[in-house]
A and B are shown apart, each in its own frame.
Chain A
């Protein structure tokens, strides 16, 4: 579906992405993790064409993206930016959501907009002014305005950051439904519980390089990798590790393991 070959990119400031290669298969859910400044966002900007690689190639369904415009790539790869306030401009929710499809010259826009508003639980607000929505609703609106372009791959940048429990859970449910529909999900986040909940595969980055790519528990159980990336494990994972269960992010899962061992 998406293949990255030896991608290199250098900023004027000197920060580099070095020889990034990986492949994303259809229907997969991948988390890209790493410290701030490890190159996650730079990588994603290259994928969606906002930045163009200095060398290396990106293939989308076999087609080289270097000849495609950002708008053309947007038909297949949707990127939900972290801060919804950076994109909300329209005077109603439905107008906001129809912006993307209009730009891409899609047809049956109204139907598509209504459909996606229902999926993101915003249908009741379709005539409301988007600035009046709450933080959690704005986050869902940002998701809806990308989803409406029906991209096969969806990239989410810190989707739950700043959200309280109820809104975070609601958003996760939507993402899980999208996974069921067969969407390919790429998640950029610091929230390890979110990663373990949604993704089976993790790409770990440090200083512009991929230093690990594999199943989440495999990656985290490699002591040397964690040392190297200085990623701080959540308390629960530290405890589960000391208790001998390996890395576990979910309290309930840890409890089940504990119980089966102690009963």
Chain B
């Protein structure tokens, strides 16, 4: 089975927190990752996030790391690029031919690596502990027009449908002798046409039928009600308050010049 959602069902503080609070928290953390560039600061943010997810979300660190693993090549590439193409300040600690490796760039590379990982973690915090439907509902509650919310929900809903359709189409074409592995890059790309065309045609047909189905369910009638609802609990408000305090503190530190290396 391929997994299409990152949501892990658990009973935890983070799981039961209002998704709107989690969205705000995610945005705060995201911003914090951007404003600091000192590896010490970003590194501690990253590790605190891991521990935070473990304690308040009951998500095992091993599990989180397994989610991060596919991102590693990307992170390593960013780090290498920083080491090679970073600034020309700082001391050269090693030189091969024209390639100068400077201590400041290594520091920055570490910071950038942690920055990417911490940014990913702050989104994971939301996606691992929130069901997709609650996420969409939260966005609608945060004044996103309902039509947009519905569109996002439908898009998420049909990801597995289209994925299994793609598998069926590939099987059908393989039975007609299509061999995807053979040939050079251009030939390989061309071989995807017999898979993409039916997939697109069927998606369009699905979308047309979907539009009819939605209409038959009285969509568009004014004064819609909502079966599921979100209500702020006292704890959510406290959580939000703590997040705002933490965020303001970080901004204050940054303005005072902490956690930022001039490059």
Contacts and interface: CB of A to CB of B under 8 A. Distances in A.
A103 B201 contact: no
A88 interface: yes
B60 interface: no
Contacts of A131: 201
A104 B179 CA distance: 9
B172 interface: yes
A146 B176 contact: yes
Given A13-B1, A103-B179, A87 B174 contact: no
A89 B179 contact: no
A48 B174 CA distance: 10
B155 interface: no
B215 interface: no
Interface in A54-91: 69-71, 74-75, 78-79, 81, 83, 85-90
**A: interface residue count bin:** 20 to 34
Nearest to B196: A89
Given A13-B1, A86-B169, A103-B179, A50 B198 contact: no
A88 B175 contact: no
A99 interface: yes
A120 interface: no
A87 B169 contact: yes
A241 interface: no
Nearest to B191: A103
Interface in B167-215: 168-169, 171-179, 193-198, 201-202, 205
A149 B178 CA distance: 12
Contacts of B174: 50, 70-71, 74
Given A12-B1, A86-B169, A87-B169, A79 B175 contact: yes
A38 interface: no
Of B165, B168, B174, B202, which is in contact with the most chain A CB atoms at under 10 Å from its CB? B174
Contacts, number: 72
Contact of A71 (B172, B179, B194, B205): B179
Contacts of B177: 70-71, 74-75, 99-101, 103-104, 149
Contacts of A99: 176-178, 194
Contacts of A86: 165, 168-169, 172, 198, 202
B176 A103 contact: yes
A197 B169 CA distance: 30
Interface string A131-146: 1000000000000011
Contact of B175 (A13, A48, A85): A48
A212 B205 CA distance: 41
Contact of B171 (A81, A89, A103, A146): A81
Contacts of A75: 177
B202 A74 contact: no
Nearest to B171: A50
A45 interface: yes
Nearest to B174: A70
A89 B171 CA distance: 14
B202 A149 contact: no
Nearest to B200: A89
24 contacts: A45-B171, A50-B174, A50-B175, A70-B175, A70-B179, A71-B174, A71-B178, A74-B174, A74-B175, A78-B175, A81-B172, A81-B175, A85-B201, A86-B168, A86-B169, A86-B202, A87-B169, A87-B173, A88-B197, A89-B193, A103-B177, A103-B178, A146-B176, A149-B176
Given A12-B1, A88-B201, A103-B179, 18 more contacts: A13-B1, A45-B171, A50-B171, A69-B179, A71-B178, A74-B176, A78-B175, A85-B201, A86-B165, A86-B172, A88-B197, A89-B194, A89-B196, A89-B198, A100-B176, A104-B177, A146-B175, A146-B176
Interface of A: 12-13, 45, 48, 50, 69-71, 74-75, 78-79, 81, 83, 85-90, 99-101, 103-104, 131, 145-146, 149
- What are the 9 A-B residue pairs with the smallest beta carbon separation, nearest first? A103-B177, A89-B197, A87-B172, A100-B176, A71-B177, A81-B172, A89-B194, A104-B177, A79-B175
